[in-house]
Chains A and B, each alone.
Chain A
Amino acid sequence: MRFTLNGKPVAVDAPPMKRLLDVLREECGLTGTKEGCGEGECGACTVLLDGAPVNSCLVPVAHAEGAKVTTIEGLRGHDKLQRAFVTEGGAQCGICTPGFVVAASTLPRGASLEAVQEGLAGNLCRCTGYAGIYRAVAAARGGGKSAKKKAKR
């Protein structure tokens, strides 16, 4: 099985139905991608498959063949976002963080708070209440303001 992993061609010998998650962690030694649930709920295993965030616990490695796979280890050009997760309180225990950072890296710049919430609704965090994550995304990529008119109070 050949694919491009974090910009470099790789060939792995794995059963085609093996989860991409397991191939990355076991065959490729990239343990930054985490397993939180094995059912596509928590997003801790998020990687980019041809640029789109997917849950690698639900992807057979066969579907990575010929594709570009990007993991947290290979995320380039998002140093600012990663630093902001540290300084703004976006990372506490850190187990969900790689998935959040990878998913957040695909959000458009200047996204409204609602767009950020929508884009990250497939990632669960149990430590932060998400507030620190919104601050981190806003600090690194601008936006983060609510697009909704303030509800009449």
Chain B
Amino acid sequence: MASRARAGNVGRSVPRLEGPEKVEGRARYVDDLRFPGMLHGRTIRAPHPCGRLRAVRLGPGGLPLGLVVVGPRDIPGDNVIATIEDDQPALAWGEIRHAEEPVLLLAHADREALWAIPAEVDMIPGTPVFDPLASPRVFKQIRIAKGDAAAALRRAPVVVEGEYRTGAQEHVYIEPQGVIAVPENGGITIHGSLQCPYYVHKALCRLLRLPPDKVRVIQVETGGGFGGKEDYPSVIAGHAALLALKARRPVKMVYDRGEDMRATTKRHPSIVRLRSAFSRDGTLLALEAQVVMDGGAYVTLSPVVLSRGVLHASGPYRCPAVAIEGRAVMTNTPPNGAFRGFGAPQTLFAIEAHMDRCAQQLGIDPVKLREKNAFRPGDVTATGQKLPKDTAALPVLREAVRRSDYHRKRIAWAGTGRGIGLSLFFHGSGFTGAGEVRLASKASLELTPKGVRILVASTEIGQGTRTMLAQIVADTLGWPLSAVEVAPADTGLVPDSGPTVASRTCMIVGGILQKAARELKRKLGRAKPAQYLARHGALVVTGQYEKPAEIQWDEERYRGDAYGTYGWGCDVVELEVDPVTREVRPLKLTAVQEIGKAIHPGLARGQVEGGSAQGLGWALSEEVVMRDGRMANAQLTNYMVPTTKDTPEMDVTILGLGYRHGPFGAKGLGELPMDGPAPAVVNALRHAGFDVREVPATPERLLRCASR
């Protein structure tokens, strides 16, 4: 090891560590693994969206020899998927709350024989609720209040109101959900496609009534997550584990695309009503927001999704009086869950679409209106957070407007069928409020003869976690990248670094690792790793999250520093509407995003490009069609994710103002790019003459919306 080698990996686009395996087809995903004696698992699911389960019948016909059947009574522990509340059973019995709810599990060595077994689920159907506004059950309600919004709205000279809706979105990670459960050492080992090994670990200890050391969760190469593999893996891993423990053999459970789309989580559909008050010169005086999120049948992560939603509902704007009321409600559809952005894209869609309507009503240019009201450093948010120096709303706005030649096109394209629109947005990095304190994440570094090994539960799901964390550690130690290896995300090896969600891995876990690396360096002194190991034996340094002193949050009153810091973005979308077919063709997306510091500019750019494409899909073509509580278009033929020809040219600029508590100044990034495209699209459509307040803005919807 050349320990004197000049540091300088951070800020450079070094080749990603696991790249060669992926491009040569050597990377092993869960469906590529086989274990001796392995069985295949199958889930029998409820046919109706609600009612009472009477019986599950297998057959007619003989059942194959060696068939393993698991019902609720075979569950050794609590029949719950442990997340926030204990309302969701691993296997339903009695009450059924959504179609596709799992009721019975089967496993067999022969996959063909397994799928040939006829299964009938006998239910007394009930009366389902699908409209979130008519839901009788509120999972979570949150209020945020600053000043007297009602009074300001009464007095203001200009009041604009509107309702904005967003649809569900399917993750379409190209690798469907899958795990293999292996009974071993008196417990269970899970090999799975997942984002959060310790979430699965916690859920399994509860379900199987096993002590923590008897449950081991190993993330294998994961073919995309986007939040979809945050909560659901606890369900599928639980099922596979129940089968494996009963069969005493490994059980592989891999969903096909149809089952994955019908049964697993989606982005929460939302309905947001806004009322805003302005002075005649366009100064925002007050904002009132009512946010409703459709949680689906069980609580799962809905309270936190709602929390992030309401915390972004007033947008990146200074406003003296704000009243936000948010509700996550139950409907009889499969539970909605985490999806990149986690509630923020929904409320940011509303406020950003609303701002262009406000600009129109005020007769002010949308950029001017935003410039006038956008947060500056030192401004105070709806929760009373004083914004830090790295508040970058104006820099991203100005750069995006300049790069896209927004003003000229805005005039030149009027009445041509082309449109240009923008959105200004922000995204809180890391867990909300006191979340990081509760998580108390840990990350370790282990000295190896050649250098150091990173031990974290943060998962590589395509975003480049391993590479980016290795860069942070290498530069903190002043060592070359080749001296740093990254252990697999295996709960048997690594500490609980918290989940790989919420744009927290780089800023939070990277920060803990940076601290650990400094500590390691201090302990090592002038010794080389091999020398140190020879003299003192093994060395593992573990860092833990420490809250910066100035961050204060009051969970009861929703007051204080909602997030440590925020990333900032401005997207400009240029598009063309076909006059004959109302098909919308995006021509170009200009994204300017401020993320503190890009540890790896290439990976950061990839996050922005990929997140933006996903946002454009949500905005234009991705529509989950529900019929009687079931996804009716659960095929990639009928659920339209963007292809090469649907995705426009993207001009990405990354700014970095630095965040003093982030490693090398880094903030969070992963979710930010998801927030901007949808409102920029509808604002461009507004410019092209279409008053659309709902996404996806399909041609069918454009036909219905009154032309302006």
Which residues from chain A sit less than 8 Å from chain B, CB to CB? 25, 30-39, 41-42, 44, 71-73, 82-83, 85-98, 101, 116-118, 120-121, 123-133, 151, 153
Query: Of B22, B29, B641, which is within 8 A of A124 by CB?
Result: B641
* CB closest residue in chain A, given B27: A94
Say yes or no: B636 contacts A121, CB within 8 Å.
Answer: no
Contact A39 B636 (CB under 8 A): yes
A152 to chain B, nearest CB (A): 9
User: Once bound together, how far apart are the Cα atoms of A117 and B176, in whole Å?
Assistant: 25
Chain A's nearest CB lies how many Å from the CB of B169?
12
Inter-chain contact total with CB atoms closer than 8 Å: 165
Are A73's CB and B24's CB within 8 A? yes
Asked if A93 and B175 sit within 8 Å, CB to CB, the answer is: yes
Contact A93 B256 (CB under 8 A): no
A96–B412 CA distance with the chains assembled, in angstroms: 40
In residues 143-197 of chain B, which contact A (Cβ within 8 Å)? Answer: 171-176
Pick the residue among B23, B223, B224 that contacts A86 (CB under 8 A).
B23
CB distance from B488 to the nearest CB of A (A): 16
The 5 closest A-B CB pairs, nearest first, are A32-B25, A95-B223, A93-B462, A129-B613, A94-B22
**Interchain Cβ contacts under 8 Å between A and B, 20 examples:** A31-B25, A35-B256, A36-B636, A38-B256, A41-B636, A85-B23, A93-B175, A93-B223, A93-B462, A95-B174, A118-B644, A123-B644, A124-B636, A124-B643, A126-B171, A127-B224, A127-B462, A129-B611, A130-B613, A131-B652
Give the residues in chain A near B19, CB-CB below 8 Å. 85-87, 91
Decide yes or no whether B605 CB sits under 8 A from chain A.
yes
Tell me which of B463, B464, B587, B636 contacts A37 (CB under 8 A): B636
Contact of A36 among B175, B612, B614 (CB under 8 A): B175
> Is B690 in contact with chain A by the CB < 8 A criterion?
no
Instruction: Verify if B606 is at the interface (C-beta below 8 Å from A).
Output: yes
Contact in complex: B175, A34 (CB < 8 Å): yes
User: Contact mask B20-44 → A, CB, 8 Å, 1/0?
Assistant: 1111111111011000000000000
Give chain A nearest CB distance to B408 CB in angstroms.
Answer: 8
Cross-chain contact A126 with B603 (CB below 8 angstroms):
no
Is B281 interfacial (CB-CB < 8 Å)?
no
A71 to B174, alpha carbons, bound, how many Å? 19
- CB-based contact B25/A92 at 8 Å: no
Q: Is the pair B650, A129 in contact by a Cβ cutoff of 8 Å? A: yes
Q: Which residues of B contact A73 (CB under 8 A)?
A: 24-26
In the complex, are the beta carbons of A36 and B647 less than 8 A apart?
Answer: no
In contact, A89 and B602 (Cβ under 8 angstroms): yes
Bound Cα distance A41, B171 (Å): 16
Contact A37 B223 (CB under 8 A): no
Give the B interface residue count (CB, 8 A): 59
From residue 637 to 671 of chain B, which have CB atoms closer than 8 A to chain A?
637, 641, 643-645, 647, 650, 652
Query: Does A98 contact B614, Cβ atoms closer than 8 Å?
Result: no
Residues of B within 8 A of A128 (CB): 606, 609-610, 613
The reply on B15 being an interface residue by CB < 8 A is yes
Q: How far is the CB of A139 from chain B (nearest CB, A)?
A: 12
Since A89-B605, A130-B647 are in contact, a sample of 13 more A-B pairs with Cβ atoms closer than 8 Å, ordered by chain A residue number, is A35-B31, A39-B637, A71-B25, A72-B24, A90-B23, A91-B22, A94-B223, A101-B23, A121-B645, A127-B224, A131-B650, A132-B605, A132-B606
Are A39 and B635 closer than 8 Å at their CB atoms?
yes
Set B22, B173, B222: member contacting A126, Cβ < 8 A: B173
Q: How far is the CB of A110 from chain B (nearest CB, A)?
A: 18
**Which residues from A are CB-within-8-Å of B16?**
86, 91
Q: Find the A residue at minimum CB distance from B260.
A: A37
- Residues of chain B with a CB closer than 8 A to A85's CB: 19, 22-23
**Contacting residue for A127 out of B13, B606, B636, CB 8 A:** B606
Q: Closest Cβ of chain B: how far from A103's Cβ, in Å?
A: 11
Provide the bound-state CA to CA distance between A94 and B412, in Å: 42
Q: Return A120 CB to nearest CB of chain B, in Å.
A: 5
Contact check, A130 vs B175: say whether CB atoms are below 8 A apart: no
Q: Tell me the bound Cα distance from A98 to B685 in angstroms.
A: 37
Residues of B near any A CB (own CB < 8 A):
13, 15-16, 18-29, 31-32, 171-176, 221-226, 256-257, 405, 409, 412, 461-464, 587, 602-603, 605-606, 609-614, 635-637, 641, 643-645, 647, 650, 652
User: Which residues of chain A are near B613, meaning CB under 8 Å?
Assistant: 128-130
What chain A residues lie within 8 Å of B18 (beta carbons)? 94
Contacts of B32 in A (CB 8 A): 25, 31
Q: How far is the CB of B615 from chain A (nearest CB, A)?
A: 10
Q: Which residues of B contact A25 (CB under 8 A)?
A: 32
**A92: contacting residue among B20, B171, B462, CB under 8 A:** B462
Given contacts A89-B602, A95-B223, A126-B173, contact A82 B24 (CB under 8 A): yes
Tell me if A36 and B222 are in contact (CB < 8 A): no
Q: Do the beta carbons of A131 and B15 come within 8 Å of each other? A: no
Instruction: Look across to chain B and name the residue whose beta carbon is closest to the beta carbon of A113.
Output: B649
Query: Taking the nearest CB of chain B, how far is it from the CB of A76, in angstroms?
Result: 12
Cα distance, A99 to B26, chains bound together (Å): 13
A residues less than 8 Å from B461 (CB atoms): 93
Contact B23 A82 (CB under 8 A): yes
- Nearest B residue to A22 via CB reads B111
* Chain A minimum-CB-distance residue to B254: A35
Q: Tell me whether A31 and B173 are in contact (CB under 8 A).
A: no
CB closest residue in chain B, given A99: B174
**Min distance, Cβ B600 to any Cβ of chain A, angstroms:** 10
A44 to B16: give the CA distance in the assembly, Å: 21
Q: List residues of chain A with CB within 8 A of the CB of B614.
A: 126, 129
- Minimum CB–CB distance from B225 to chain A (whole Å) comes to 8
User: Could you tell me the distance in whole angstroms from the C-beta of A114 to the nearest C-beta in chain B?
Assistant: 9
Tell me the nearest residue of chain A to B420, going by C-beta: A153
**B606 and A89 contacting across the interface, CB-CB below 8 Å:** yes
Write out the residue numbers on chain B whose beta carbons fall within 8 Å of the beta carbon of A33.
25
Q: How far is the CA of A85 from the CA of B462 in the complex (A)?
A: 13
In the bound complex, do residue A95 and residue B23 qualify as a contact, i.e. CB atoms below 8 Å apart? Answer: no
Cα distance, A96 to B29, chains bound together (Å): 12
Q: Which of A89, A118, A125 makes the CB contact (< 8 A) with B174?
A: A125
Please indicate the chain A residues that have their CB under 8 angstroms from the CB of B225 in the complex. 93
Interface centre among B32, B175, B225, B644, by most chain A C-beta atoms within 10 angstroms, is: B644
Q: Flag if B405 contacts A32 (CB, 8 Å).
A: no
Q: Which residues on A sit within 8 Å (CB–CB) of B463?
A: 92
* Least Cβ–Cβ distance between A97 and chain B, in angstroms: 5
Q: How far is the CA of A117 from the CA of B19 in the complex (A)?
A: 23
Closest chain A residue, CB of each to CB of B258: A38
